[in-house]
């Protein structure tokens, strides 16, 4: 394999960035759509499961036509898509109001901070350990060069992820402050306290798989989990996983911990004064953060992108024809794990009510942090023993 020149590596990195951004902006609208559909089915809503099952246009044709495509379960899943399209159009086209007494610069920059910190985390996430694909020989300038499964496969991946993700709280606090209004201020204050508190057990719970595998690097951890006895991380880390997931819900401000927004108390919390695409940025950031949390869970507790634990992967690889493109299916399985975790988010939202603010804090400090510490200690013992 040829070594890339500086220019070539920059080009490859840019291509990777584009791929990741495309991934993010495909997954997010799909998650929003899935949320409508899943909640629609959970709660027996009429709109999101039936919109466009009507009689006009393409969808009408699909319903009425000779073949009645709409009756086939998979194909009937387009129902509800018009709602999604209308929603996105509304976000983009709506008037963007900045309150007269707001701090205009901070008001403007806050959604950007939230969004950027959410997207940048993906830099350190490997979708596939090692090489994702090799440029074919006809590709101008980059022929034969490998593209790795993550943008920056750095050896302090976890530190980067936690560091960048925690910047996101600034977006929320600044939004609450800059709006110069009381409900956003309360929302901002709540979120500052909540997110800072939950970062502690979140980080500690993530440390346990690090201790078990002995690496901070995303793809290396995945590789070590696939081989050896620490299979998938989930098996020895069930509690760690649950703690992580709970903290993940809190970090992304989802029910039952959606304190900063708590629509029935604080109207819309920190983004009460936001409209149009600025609000859209917060909205997108929330869903990107959900994807990030799910990706981390997949990487740290569900064995990264690997197909099978307990060394079974080696067997599968033997069965596959030599030179088969294994990275593709790996990436698909990684995404499948993310999708399952995103489904869990929606599922929980459809099931349980919201904690009160003081209860949220006591859950973090009185239960989650001690439990996470105990879990870490156990992991350390296991590591020494094995």
Partner 1 sequence: MFKNEEMEINLGPQHPSTHGVLRVKLRLDGETITHCKPVIGYLHRGVEKICENQTFFQGQVWTDRMDYCSAVANNLGWAEANEKLFGITVPRRAQYIRTLLNEFNRLASHLIWLATHALDIGAMTVFLYAFREREDILDMNEAFCGSRLTTTAFRIGGLREDLPPGFEKMARKFLAKFPTCLEEYENLLSENRIWKKRTVGVAMLSAEDAIALGVTGPVLRAAGVPYDIRKAFPYAAYAEMDFEVPTQTAADTYARYLVRMAEMRQSARIIQQCLDGMPEGPVMAKIPKILKPEVNEVYHATEAPKGEIGYYLVGEKGSTNPYRFHVRAPGFINLQSLPKMAEGGLIADIVAAIGTLDIVLGEIDR
- Residue 355 as a binder of partner 1 (CB under 8 A): the answer is yes
- Residue 47 as a binder of partner 1 (CB under 8 A): the answer is no
Query: Nearest CA to 304 among 158, 182, 194?
Result: 158
Quote the CA–CA distance of 371 and 377 in Å, as a whole number.
10
Stretch that binds partner 1, among 6-14, 126-134, 148-156, 256-264 (CB under 8 A): 256-264
Quote the CA–CA distance of 50 and 78 in Å, as a whole number.
9
Comparison of 194 and 215: residue with beta carbon closer to partner 1 = 194
Residues 157-186 that bind partner 1 (CB under 8 A): 182-183, 186
Least Å distance, CB 48 to partner 1, is: 11
Quote the CA–CA distance of 154 and 143 in Å, as a whole number.
25
- Which residue from 356, 365, 367, 381 is in contact with partner 1, where contact means CB under 8 A? 356
Comparison of 230 and 252: residue with beta carbon closer to partner 1 = 252
- Residue 71 as a binder of partner 1 (CB under 8 A): the answer is no
Tell the burial category of 276 from Cβ atoms under 10 Å away from its Cβ (0-12, 13-18, 19+). Answer: middle
Q: Which CA distances in Å does 199 have to 187, 204, 278?
A: 18, 9, 26
- Residue 229 as a binder of partner 1 (CB under 8 A): the answer is no
Tell the burial category of 292 from Cβ atoms under 10 Å away from its Cβ (0-12, 13-18, 19+). Answer: buried
Comparison of 142 and 262: residue with beta carbon closer to partner 1 = 262
Stretch that binds partner 1, among 59-67, 314-322, 334-342, 357-365 (CB under 8 A): 357-365
Stretch that binds partner 1, among 115-123, 143-151, 316-324, 354-362 (CB under 8 A): 354-362
- Which residue from 5, 9, 155, 351 is in contact with partner 1, where contact means CB under 8 A? 351
Cβ atoms of residues 225 and 306 within 8 Å? yes
Residue with tokens 């925690």: 166
- Which residue from 45, 64, 94, 383 is in contact with partner 1, where contact means CB under 8 A? 45
**Alpha helices, DSSP H only, in 99-146?**
104-120
Tokens of 24: 């993010």
What residues pair up with 146 in beta bridges, in sequence order? 134
Least Å distance, CB 94 to partner 1, is: 19
- Helices (H) and strands (E) counted in the chain, each on its own, are 15, 2
Quote the CA–CA distance of 135 and 157 in Å, as a whole number.
26
- Which residue from 50, 64, 94, 354 is in contact with partner 1, where contact means CB under 8 A? 354
- Which residue from 97, 315, 352, 386 is in contact with partner 1, where contact means CB under 8 A? 352
- Residue 99 as a binder of partner 1 (CB under 8 A): the answer is no
- Which residue from 267, 308, 339, 378 is in contact with partner 1, where contact means CB under 8 A? 267
- Residue 357 as a binder of partner 1 (CB under 8 A): the answer is yes
Cβ atoms of residues 11 and 141 within 8 Å? yes
- Which residue from 1, 3, 7, 44 is in contact with partner 1, where contact means CB under 8 A? 44
What separation, in Å, do the N-terminal and C-terminal C-alpha atoms of the chain show?
A: 38
Cβ atoms of residues 350 and 43 within 8 Å? yes
Residue with tokens 């004064």: 273
Least Å distance, CB 201 to partner 1, is: 18
Least Å distance, CB 351 to partner 1, is: 7
- Which residue from 50, 64, 349, 383 is in contact with partner 1, where contact means CB under 8 A? 349
**Angle of the 218-226 helix axis to the 276-300 helix axis, nearest 10:** 40
# of chain residues touching partner 1 (CB under 8 A): 29
Quote the CA–CA distance of 248 and 260 in Å, as a whole number.
15
Quote the CA–CA distance of 37 and 43 in Å, as a whole number.
10
- Residue 122 as a binder of partner 1 (CB under 8 A): the answer is no
- Residue 256 as a binder of partner 1 (CB under 8 A): the answer is yes
Stretch that binds partner 1, among 92-100, 109-117, 251-259, 299-307 (CB under 8 A): 251-259
- Which residue from 5, 21, 25, 43 is in contact with partner 1, where contact means CB under 8 A? 43
Residues that bind partner 1 (CB under 8 A): 39, 42-45, 182-183, 186, 190, 255-256, 258, 262-267, 349-359
């Amino acid at each position: 394999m040829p070594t890339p020149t500086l220019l070539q590596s920059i080009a490859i990195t840019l291509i990777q960035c584009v791929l990741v951004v495309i991934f993010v902006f495909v997954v997010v609208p799909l998650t929003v759509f899935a949320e409508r559909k899943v909640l629609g089915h959970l709660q027996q809503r009429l709109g999101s499961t039936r919109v466009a099952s009507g009689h006009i246009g393409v969808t009408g044709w699909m319903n009425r036509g000779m073949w009645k495509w709409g009756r086939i379960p998979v194909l009937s899943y387009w129902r509800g898509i018009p709602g999604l399209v209308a929603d996105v159009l509304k976000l983009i086209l709506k008037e963007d109001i900045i309150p007269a007494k707001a701090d205009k610069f901070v008001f403007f920059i806050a959604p950007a901070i939230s969004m950027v910190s959410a997207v940048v985390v993906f830099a350190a996430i490997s979708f596939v350990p090692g090489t994702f694909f090799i440029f074919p020989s006809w590709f101008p300038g980059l022929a034969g060069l490998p593209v790795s499964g993550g943008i920056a496969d750095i050896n302090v991946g976890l530190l980067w992820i936690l560091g960048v993700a925690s910047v996101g709280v600034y977006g929320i606090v600044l939004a609450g402050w800059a709006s110069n209004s009381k409900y956003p201020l309360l929302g901002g204050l709540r979120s500052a306290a909540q997110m800072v508190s939950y970062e502690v057990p979140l980080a500690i719970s993530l440390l346990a798989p690090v201790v078990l595998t002995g690496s901070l690097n995303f793809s290396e951890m995945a590789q070590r989990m696939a081989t050896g006895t620490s299979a998938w991380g989930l098996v020895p880390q069930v509690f760690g996983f649950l703690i992580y997931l709970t903290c993940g819900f809190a970090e992304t401000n989802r029910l039952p911990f959606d304190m900063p927004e708590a629509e029935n108390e604080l109207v819309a919390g920190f983004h009460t004064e936001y409209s149009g695409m600025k609000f859209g940025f917060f909205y997108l950031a929330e869903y990107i953060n959900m994807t990030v949390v799910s990706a981390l869970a997949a990487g740290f507790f569900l064995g990264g992108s690997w197909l099978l634990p307990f060394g079974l992967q080696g067997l599968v690889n033997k069965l596959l024809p030599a030179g088969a493109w294994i990275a593709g299916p790996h990436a698909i399985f990684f995404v499948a794990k993310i999708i399952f975790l995103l489904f869990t988010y929606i599922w929980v939202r459809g099931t349980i009510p919201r904690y009160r603010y003081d209860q949220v804090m006591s859950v973090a400090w009185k239960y989650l942090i001690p439990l996470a510490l105990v879990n870490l200690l156990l992991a350390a013992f296991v590591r020494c023993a094995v």
